[in-house]
């Protein structure tokens, strides 16, 4: 009772360690029996706390899951959850059956393979003697195969990873663990870019203004001096190379101190940094980035009685992200409309953001008979400080318009639109979050276990520290999340039956609401139709914001709150034959109130006004603004998957596991990763501002009907009865292989222009064409030799300016799927009584099978239907040496 009083009196509370397992124990699966994977693509020191997707770490590969190395020429802005989104589109998701929704964790997105939230408390660890390891990994271009489209030899590149981990006892009751790792990647990125042909590299002769000619020429000079060298795939395709530098540094230290029989302290500090000098196949194409993370926490744990334990944790986490244009950048972003690659970086660059999170948590665990009770709470204070962009550098958009094609307009210097944000966009937001929970793991009898839990979560309204903007929505304070699970051991012949249900709440991302920074009176997003290329703002003073001036307005629904998901699953694990087991299961979710951005106040048909780009702003209903972009809970998502897994017992050193799942994912334009900012905002934009649900409902971006993964491990036997020379030659070998096969993810065909004769001329470039040949719908467009025949241009037609939308739906075609094999071979030698040396060779994409990207999908573009890139790299080998002691 005294422990409970202390817990409730603490200013804040949260879980620390997982409650004792309540469900009937399952037999060890093949993957578990095999021990840790011999792949080590994910940095070891980064696995705890600072994950690949949390920090957007570049160059990390989960080879054990069957993932191939991504083609680095598919650029990612290392901010928000962009790495997760890229992985979902490239690899897809993994149907995951969560056997128990532990009450101290949030499982939003876990049905897709996402990790649940991590409890705040640190575990106590002790070391009786010195132990640890040293390792070095080397990857070199001489061991890599060319990618599918590469012209010429593989360019010189190398990657070195090296690190250590060591645990030592200090004084009485104290131990210290230190881990560190560095990655030095000096890579060469190969890729296809669309560049002007030899006769397209100067302004047209009809351009008489010498200053305009100079500016057009400067723009065209941003493309490489090399001429197109892959006319077989596109008359303007150039395959070229560019260097990329990635430096990762990770250091974690943990101190554990016993304070007697009942108390202990655990302290940890972690530092992670990544520096990327991005590749520039085209001058200024990608931003350089710097990411820094500090993570510190302290946990006090007390065992009040043998059955009752509490912990109290305080933590601080800081993530700093800086993305800046390369010095070779042209200046403003230039959207070329399809015939050439755009000149970058994207319009959201530069970004200078710091996120501070202060966390206080406590938890109580009590065992009483067949019940394991757990109570806890967790309070966060979040600060988001910095300056972010939404065309702050300016953005020109060229396209088919004014009676010309895109290339003609580029060479004439006739952009369709210009967008720029002026004024002060630096902001400092503050927000509180809280979670409280109670749960019981109840072992009803030797056959039946129940898991019961209830969580309460809240998010306060964000506040700008300097009063620069007010949000119309209030506290999201009514989020109650029940969860329930059961496990029934039906007997030796019938195995174990499990089921679980949980309601999970997402977070409200800071990037979702920080778009308020672009509103008047402190800043203004100006949009000009048919602008002058030399003076797009027509003399407007960029240093002065007119509080009554016309601009894009970012609005927020007054009832904006966090999305939530109902997750449920059922599984039956059955012993079938001599230790072989089959696991049959279903997992599903229904997600409501997903965040989306709706574009309204678009240009509409108006009697007496010609429907052309130049009259766009005259045809908007509310003349005070250009676009009105409203952030609201306008999305829903549905997911269902059936999964079957076959697990073999470990025999003769062999372990084996294979899984197949059939799934379907549908949404209304936003999914569980959506932030309603950046690419999410554009991807979720309907063709018109009316009947958006009907227009956007389709398969999700990561939908894959069929998926199959198989893992196989072999460890050489001890051979104790064999001669010494034979034992020395054959012992301590290990072979591992994983095969991944998946259907490709979907993509959408767009017109590529909002101009008259192509789109509806409403100012939003989300138009789709009409489908004239419905027989091609659903086709897989997966190889460059057949892509144009599979996606023929004459199967589509453009809409008329007064038509609201095209007839083709979103995500109606599929790109190439995944057929990947990763493998590794290792051997371990004892080098001293307590030391071992391991040498390992690993191959990624062993069969060198390309995973082709989606084809050109803009109907106005000359490369429509052509596949010009791969999503994965060619076959590679790398080598690791580890000394463990």
pLDDT digits (tens, 9 = 90+) for 342-374: 998 999 999 999 999 999 999 999 999 999 999
Cis peptide bond prior to 273, omega within 30° of 0: no
Quote the CA–CA distance of 295 and 81 in Å, as a whole number: 19
Q: Is pLDDT of 864 > 80?
A: yes
> What's the average model confidence in pLDDT over 419-430?
95
Summarize pLDDT for 182-209 with one digit per residue, the tens. Answer: 999 999 999 999 999 999 999 999 999 9
Residue 261: CB atoms within 10 Å = 7
For Cα atoms 692, 698, 703, give the angle at the middle one, nearest 5 degrees. 145
Evaluate whether residue 3 is within a structural domain.
Answer: no
Evaluate whether residue 4 is within a structural domain.
Answer: no
Under a CB-based contact definition with an 8 Å cutoff, are residues 874 and 148 in contact?
yes
| pLDDT at residue number 8 | 33
Under a CB-based contact definition with an 8 Å cutoff, are residues 695 and 662 in contact?
no
Evaluate whether residue 1 is within a structural domain.
Answer: no
| pLDDT at residue number 683 | 84
Q: Residue 33: what are its φ and ψ, rounded to 5°?
A: -65, -30
Tokens of residue 321, six digits: 């992200």
Residues 6+ apart with CB under 8 A from 811: 698, 699, 700, 701, 703, 746, 747, 748
Q: Is pLDDT of 20 > 60?
A: no
Q: Is pLDDT of 16 > 70?
A: no
> What's the average model confidence in pLDDT over 279-299?
96
Q: What is the 3-state secondary structure (H, E, C) of 839-871?
A: EEEEEECCCCCCCECCCECECCCCCECCCCCEC
Task: State the total domains in the chain.
Answer: 1
Tokens of residue 493, six digits: 């012949």
Q: Is pLDDT of 38 > 80?
A: no
Q: Is pLDDT of 13 > 60?
A: no
Summarize pLDDT for 65-120 with one digit per residue, the tens. Answer: 999 999 988 888 888 888 999 999 999 999 999 999 999 999 999 999 999 998 99
For the entire predicted model, the pTM comes to: 0.89
Q: Is pLDDT of 31 > 50?
A: no
Cα dihedral 699, 703, 704, 709, rounded to 10, equals -160
Summarize pLDDT for 672-708 with one digit per residue, the tens. Answer: 999 998 888 888 899 999 999 999 999 999 999 999 9
Mean of per-residue pLDDT scores for the chain? 91
In 504-588, where does DSSP find H-type helix? 510-513
Evaluate whether residue 780 is within a structural domain.
Answer: yes
Tokens of residue 144, six digits: 């890599």
Evaluate whether residue 667 is within a structural domain.
Answer: yes
| pLDDT at residue number 100 | 95
Evaluate whether residue 2 is within a structural domain.
Answer: no
For Cα atoms 231, 236, 237, give the angle at the middle one, nearest 5 degrees. 70
Q: Say what percent of the chain tops pLDDT 70.
A: 94
| pLDDT at residue number 51 | 63
Q: Is pLDDT of 297 > 50?
A: yes
| pLDDT at residue number 110 | 96
Q: Is pLDDT of 12 > 70?
A: no
Q: Is pLDDT of 588 > 70?
A: yes
> What's the average model confidence in pLDDT over 485-505?
95
Q: What is the DSSP code string of 597-634?
A: EEEES-----TTS--SGGGGGGG-S-TTEEEEEEEEEE
Q: pLDDT band at 181, cuts 50/70/90?
A: very high
Quote the CA–CA distance of 867 and 744 in Å, as a whole number: 14
Domain span at residue 850 reads 9-884
Q: pLDDT band at 735, cuts 50/70/90?
A: very high
Summarize pLDDT for 524-568 with one digit per residue, the tens. Answer: 999 999 999 999 998 788 888 888 889 999 999 999 999 999 999
Strand partners of residue 581:
575, 647
Tokens of residue 502, six digits: 């949980």
Q: Is pLDDT of 22 > 60?
A: no
Q: pLDDT band at 166, cuts 50/70/90?
A: very high
Considering only CA atoms, which of 363, 384, 640, 327 is closest in space to residue 512?
384
| pLDDT at residue number 381 | 97
Evaluate whether residue 288 is within a structural domain.
Answer: yes
Summarize pLDDT for 376-412 with one digit per residue, the tens. Answer: 999 999 999 999 999 999 999 999 999 999 999 999 9
Q: Output the domain CATH number for residue 833.
A: 2.40.170.20
């Amino acid at each position: 009772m005294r422990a409970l009083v202390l817990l409730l009196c603490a200013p804040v509370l949260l879980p620390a360690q997982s409650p004792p397992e309540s469900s009937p124990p399952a037999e060890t699966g093949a993957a578990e029996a095999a021990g840790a994977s011999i792949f080590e693509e994910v940095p070891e020191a980064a696995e705890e706390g600072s994950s690949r997707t949390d920090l957007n770490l570049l160059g990390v590969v989960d080879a054990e899951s069957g993932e191939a190395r991504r083609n680095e020429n598919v650029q990612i802005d290392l901010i928000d959850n962009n790495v997760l989104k890229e992985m979902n589109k490239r690899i897809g998701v993994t149907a995951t059956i969560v056997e128990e929704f532990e009450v101290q964790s949030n499982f939003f997105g876990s049905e897709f393979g996402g990790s649940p939230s991590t409890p705040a408390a640190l575990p106590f660890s002790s070391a009786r003697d010195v132990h640890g390891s040293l390792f070095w990994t080397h990857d070199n271009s001489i061991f890599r195969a060319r990618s599918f489209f590469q012209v010429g030899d593989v360019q010189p590149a190398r990657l070195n990873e090296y690190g250590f981990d060591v645990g030592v006892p200090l004084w009485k009751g104290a131990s210290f663990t230190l881990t560190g790792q560095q990655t030095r990647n000096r890579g060469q990125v190969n890729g296809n870019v669309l560049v002007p042909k030899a006769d397209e590299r100067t302004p047209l002769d009809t351009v008489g203004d010498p200053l305009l000619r100079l500016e057009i020429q400067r723009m065209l000079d941003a493309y490489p001096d090399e001429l197109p060298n892959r006319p077989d795939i596109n008359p303007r395709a150039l395959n070229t190379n560019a260097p990329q530098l990635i430096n990762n540094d990770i250091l974690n230290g943990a101190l554990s101190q016993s304070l007697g029989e009942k108390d202990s302290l655990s302290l940890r500090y972690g530092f992670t940094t990544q520096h990327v000098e991005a590749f520039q196949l085209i001058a200024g194409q990608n931003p350089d980035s710097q990411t820094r993370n500090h993570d510190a926490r302290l946990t006090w744990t007390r065992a009040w009685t043998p059955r009752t334990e509490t912990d109290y944790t305080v933590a601080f986490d800081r993530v700093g992200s800086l993305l800046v244009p390369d010095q070779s950048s042209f200046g403003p972003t230039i959207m070329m409309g399809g015939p050439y690659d755009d000149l970058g970086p994207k319009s959201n660059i530069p970004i200078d953001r710091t996120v501070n999170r202060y966390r206080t948590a406590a938890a109580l665990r009590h065992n009483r008979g067949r019940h394991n009770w757990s109570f806890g709470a967790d309070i966060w204070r979040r600060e988001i400080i910095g300056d972010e962009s939404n065309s702050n550098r300016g953005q020109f958009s060229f396209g088919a318009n004014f009676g010309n094609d895109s290339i003609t307009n580029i060479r004439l210097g006739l952009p369709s639109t210009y967008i720029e944000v002026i004024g002060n966009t630096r902001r400092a937001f503050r927000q509180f979050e809280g979670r409280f929970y109670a749960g019981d793991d109840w072992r009803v009898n030797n056959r039946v276990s129940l898991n019961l839990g209830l969580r309460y979560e809240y998010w306060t309204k964000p506040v700008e520290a300097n009063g620069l903007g007010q949000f119309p929505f209030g506290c999201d304070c009514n989020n109650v999340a029940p969860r329930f699970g059961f496990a029934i051991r039906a007997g030796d012949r019938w195995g174990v039956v499990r089921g679980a249900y949980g309601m999970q709440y997402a977070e409200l991302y800071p990037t979702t609401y920080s778009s308020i920074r672009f509103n008047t009176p402190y800043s203004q997003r100006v949009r000009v139709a048919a602008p002058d290329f030399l003076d797009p703002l027509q003399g407007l003073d960029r240093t002065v914001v007119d509080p009554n001036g016309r601009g894009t307005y970012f609005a927020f629904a007054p009832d904006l709150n966090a999305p939530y998901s109902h997750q449920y699953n059922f599984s039956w694990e059955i012993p079938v034959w001599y230790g072989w087991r089959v696991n049959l299961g279903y997992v599903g979710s229904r997600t409501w109130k997903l965040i989306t951005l709706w574009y309204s106040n678009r240009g509409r048909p108006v009697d007496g006004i010609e429907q052309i780009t130049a009259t766009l702003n005259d045809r908007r209903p509310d003349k005070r603004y250009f676009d009105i972009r409203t952030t609201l809970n306008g999305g829903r998502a549905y997911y269902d998957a059936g999964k079957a897994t076959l697990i073999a017992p470990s025999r003769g050193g062999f372990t084996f596991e294979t899984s197949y799942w059939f799934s379907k994912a549908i949404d209304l334009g936003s999914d569980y990763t959506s932030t309603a900012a950046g690419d999410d905002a554009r991807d979720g934009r309907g063709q018109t501002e009316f009947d958006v649900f009907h227009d956007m409902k389709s398969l999700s971006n990561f939908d894959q009907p069929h998926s199959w993964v198989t893992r196989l491990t072999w460890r050489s036997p001890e051979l104790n009865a064999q001669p010494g020379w034979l034992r020395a030659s054959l012992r301590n070998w290990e072979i591992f292989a994983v095969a991944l096969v998946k259907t490709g993810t979907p993509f959408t065909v767009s017109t590529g222009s909002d101009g008259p004769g192509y789109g509806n001329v409403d100012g939003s470039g989300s138009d789709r064409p009409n489908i004239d040949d419905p027989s091609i719908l659903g086709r897989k467009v997966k190889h460059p030799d057949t892509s144009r025949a599979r996606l023929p241009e004459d199967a589509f037609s453009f809409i008329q300016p007064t038509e609201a939308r095209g007839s083709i739906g979103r995500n109606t075609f599929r790109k190439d799927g995944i057929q990947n094999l990763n493998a590794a071979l290792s051997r371990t030698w004892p080098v001293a009584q307590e030391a071992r040396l391991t040498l390992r060779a690993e191959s990624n994409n062993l069969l060198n099978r390309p995973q082709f990207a989606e084809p050109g999908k803009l109907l106005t573009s000359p490369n429509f239907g052509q596949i010009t890139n791969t999503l994965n790299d060619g076959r590679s080998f790398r080598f690791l040496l580890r000394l463990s002691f």
